[in-house]
Amino acid sequence: MWRAVRLRGPRAVRDARELVRAASAKADQVRTARFTMTMSMAGEEITGTGEGTFTGPDTAMALTVTTGGRTAEMRVVDEVIYFQLPEDSRSRTGGKPWATLPEGSEAAKSLGTSIEQAKANNPAKTLEQVRQAGTIDRSELTTLDGQQVSHYWVTIDVAKAGELGLMSLSPEQRERLTVTFPMELWLDADQLPVQVTQNLTSVMQASGAPAELLNATTAVRYRDWGAPITVEAPPADQVGELAIG
């Protein structure tokens, strides 16, 4: 006897809020993932691999980054960024292999970084940005790496993004920028992010960045959603405050 079978697969959503509701609900259930990232800024390419637990304020990530021929590990745990230093730089932490940069510290400001920038690989942050400041321009059902996905083209309004926008800009700068940038988002059949890309060139142009800094793109790929992942801070006796200057 034949019976109808409902085929399970991705579906495209036209409304940004509906899209985020579906994706966020599933991501909140599984909470963990591994990822790879590529960032191109100021003529330099930064690549990295990482994993994380994405649970709101308790989000924790471990990321290994390669740039300029050097590789380093970074972790974000309990709202603190930890950088693993090369041996020739450990005198700046009293010989400790890990440097800590609490949010708002002078060291963090001098390095031009922040916890929010480190959390740019957090899919929850990306989805909330789409909900708050995104417009879905078009979508399609396609395949990526052999799996069925829903592919979305989204426009992000920087002024509407507020604190979810570019953390390198002040709130006043973001409000004055009447500019948008394109984001592309791929979700699998479970509405979980598979890939996210952003092109920030228009933002760099609008903010008056010099020509050599205009090209700015990021791409993040996610896999192994729901895998057993634990990220912990380095041992306390291996961590020192980074001395600047």
- Chain segment 145-200, per-residue pLDDT in tens: 899 999 999 999 988 876 555 545 555 665 666 789 999 999 999 989 999 999 98
Does domain 16-241 fall into CATH 2.50.20.20? yes
Give 176-181 contacts, CB < 8 A, sequence gap 24+: 177/203, 177/206, 177/207, 178/206, 179/203, 179/205, 179/206, 180/155, 180/156, 181/155, 181/156
Region 62-82 average pLDDT: 88
The winner for highest mean pLDDT among 79-88, 110-119, 137-146 is 137-146
Burial of 214 from C-beta contacts in 10 A (0-12 / 13-18 / 19+) = middle
Query: What CA–CA distance (Å, rounded) separates 231 from 53?
Result: 8
**Domain regions of the chain by residue span:** 16-241
Rounded to whole angstroms, the Cα distance separating 153 from 137 reads: 6
Q: Given a cut of 70, is residue 85 above it in pLDDT?
A: yes
Nearest to 146 by CA among 184, 194, 197, 196: 194
Residue type at 83 in one-letter notation = F
